Structure 1
């Protein structure tokens, strides 16, 4: 499986490098850990603008490898051990234009049972920001899109359970039990979709289409019974035009290269870079599946934070440790998504902070 990951990654590199001279996708390498670099294949964005490449690389390497780009002792793969948990990583380029980059991040785990996970991620290639579905669709557009998507997914489940599954042998008791388990799980999944209990809407952009993924997520022990997998729902950019935000229209219809950051009322997932006290370079990283942290660019040591939202456009980030002085970021989110405000330690006067 790890060899297959490496082959896919190399093919992805070839395809992605065709026709995109400014920013390209290559595979992260290591002369010290060459074998791990193949087993834990991770994309590396190279080219210009360098600040955009840096934003994306920090996001990818922290998500995949648990390290900040360049902040490691010997190798970017030094934390990876096939004997504990994750046994392989891979990726594929799903779509790339001058406006956006869609990647699929693949991971293989070994616990009580082997597990696999494929996660699409989409980046704005003008800013390096992670694009979310809510950035592209208006609230009313999202509601209409959800209805169309649900209708298609329910129809797919209904059609599947009506027909006997040919991969289960007739007369075989184990096959009969697996078929009954599969049908029961799909009926349960259908009910959860109707009630809104399943709302995982990962997506990617490619070939003029937006494709949303929302599978039934069978338990690991019976994951092999999930023949429908991610239940993809695709719509062309043109068909979605009346559902798009101004940012989405600029990015997908007008093919703009200066679409600008989307309007924001809160902090977004990804990397923010800027300064403290007008001259000290710092970075803030925010992820949906983990707590935010910041670091001084010179040292790149993680300083964990706790995020509080105090209202539309107002956030506070706190660091507290019994043996160290407390720290506080008090920030306002501007319409362009940037953060500004102050940082203070131990109750002292705050110094200005600006992050983009």
Structure 2
């Protein structure tokens, strides 16, 4: 028996399908929406179909990036993010690149430039299951054991690269002790790294994970990009033993619809829809998720105006989502909050409270 052939065959199949992820056939029709005012050039995408998946994707992308629900704009979809008249604070540049668009995966990179006292550039990659519109995180693709093995490998790799960078800084006579302190602290923080918040890109040769910057300084971020201290390309060969059934289907089984399974009884990024007190339709977006905290926002569907929430995990495993204070609102206004629990099917149930009234909430 030829062992080499037995090993090579699944690897070749996986390589074939990963390459097919980037084929020219387009699953969704994508419309470009563009607006130019002065020095500001804003462009964004909208999927033109009416399937549940397209609705989920449009809702998440427009809610997260444009702070508005689809179809709820008064003038145009950029009205909540561009600088107001007489102000320079807001999103002044916005564009996107569709990376993958097929029957399994829709992946898009969104880049924006936020102007305030300084100029800040951001880039985020969003990956959606094309059949359901659900957001895909790295842990959705691998087994629990596989996730831990890969996490251990990635952390070791990043710490090795960061240690080399820190040593080079010290040897170069770096005068700013704060810079060395920042990277030294980051070296300790990397032991706690969760791979799900990383930027995830599906590449022809595997999966690309990029950690957030340690420095928070755009000057250093540009340098960090060059020396590649936060990026890990996980090759097809490396990933294969760790993929779960969904990951195998998504990456390794050609011409097959993949079944996305909601993580049981655990909070997940994405769109949740339901009602407060069975009367008021709302949309909740969970936009960032870490071990001890998360970020979200919600919209009353009738108005479509974003209300930001900061989230934490209570001792009884409940989710506490408190309205983020706003300087624009009346300082005496009581802040709204939700107390929710993740159900066995991944839905959310609990209560909404404004300090005076408390009503039941069901979201799925």
TM-score between the two structures when normalised by the length of structure 1: 0.70
1:260 aligns with 2:254: no
Bigger relative contact order (CA 8 A; separation at least 6): 2
Residue 73 of structure 2 is matched in structure 1 by 72
Residue 5 of structure 2 is matched in structure 1 by none
Whether the 8 Å contact between 2:92 and 2:115 is mirrored in structure 1 is yes
Residue 225 of structure 1 is matched in structure 2 by 223
Question: Which residue, 31, 42, 45 being the options, matches 1:43?
Answer: 45
Residue 5 of structure 1 is matched in structure 2 by none
Q: Aligned-pair distance for 1:233?
A: 1.6
- Secondary structure (helix, strand or coil) at the match of 1:210 reads strand
In 2: Cα distance, 1:68 partner to 1:305 partner:
16
Distance change >3 Å, CA 257–CA 83, structure 1 → 2: same
Question: Which residue, 182, 205, 211 being the options, matches 1:214?
Answer: 211
Gaps in structure 1 of 5+ consecutive residues: 1-14, 164-175
- Secondary structure (helix, strand or coil) at the match of 1:40 reads strand
In 2: Cα distance, 1:48 partner to 1:303 partner:
26
In 2: Cα distance, 1:274 partner to 1:263 partner:
19
Whether the 8 Å contact between 2:273 and 2:281 is mirrored in structure 1 is yes
Distance change >3 Å, CA 152–CA 71, structure 1 → 2: same
Matched pairs, number: 324
Gaps in structure 2 of 5+ consecutive residues: 1-20
- Secondary structure (helix, strand or coil) at the match of 2:48 reads strand
In 2: Cα distance, 1:121 partner to 1:347 partner:
38
Question: Which residue, 197, 200, 203 being the options, matches 1:203?
Answer: 200
Q: Aligned-pair distance for 1:211?
A: 0.8
In 1: Cα distance, 2:257 partner to 2:190 partner:
36
Q: Aligned-pair distance for 1:203?
A: 1.5
Residue 284 of structure 2 is matched in structure 1 by 284
Q: Aligned-pair distance for 1:306?
A: 5.9
In 2: Cα distance, 1:308 partner to 1:188 partner:
26
Question: Which residue, 350, 359, 363 being the options, matches 1:355?
Answer: 363
Residue 55 of structure 1 is matched in structure 2 by 56
Deviations 1:22-81 (A, max 9, x none): x2333224xxx45489812222223242x3222222222233222222222211112302
- Secondary structure (helix, strand or coil) at the match of 1:41 reads strand
Q: Aligned-pair distance for 1:244?
A: 2.9
Whether the 8 Å contact between 1:94 and 1:103 is mirrored in structure 2 is yes
- Secondary structure (helix, strand or coil) at the match of 1:196 reads helix
In 2: Cα distance, 1:350 partner to 1:313 partner:
20
Query: What are the equivalent positions in structure 2 for 1:285-300 lying under 5 Å apart?
Result: 285-288=285-288, 291-300=295-304
1:120 aligns with 2:125: yes
Question: Which residue, 152, 155, 164 being the options, matches 1:147?
Answer: 152
Residue 87 of structure 1 is matched in structure 2 by 92
In 2: Cα distance, 1:312 partner to 1:25 partner:
43
Q: Aligned-pair distance for 1:196?
A: 1.9
Whether the 8 Å contact between 1:266 and 1:313 is mirrored in structure 2 is no
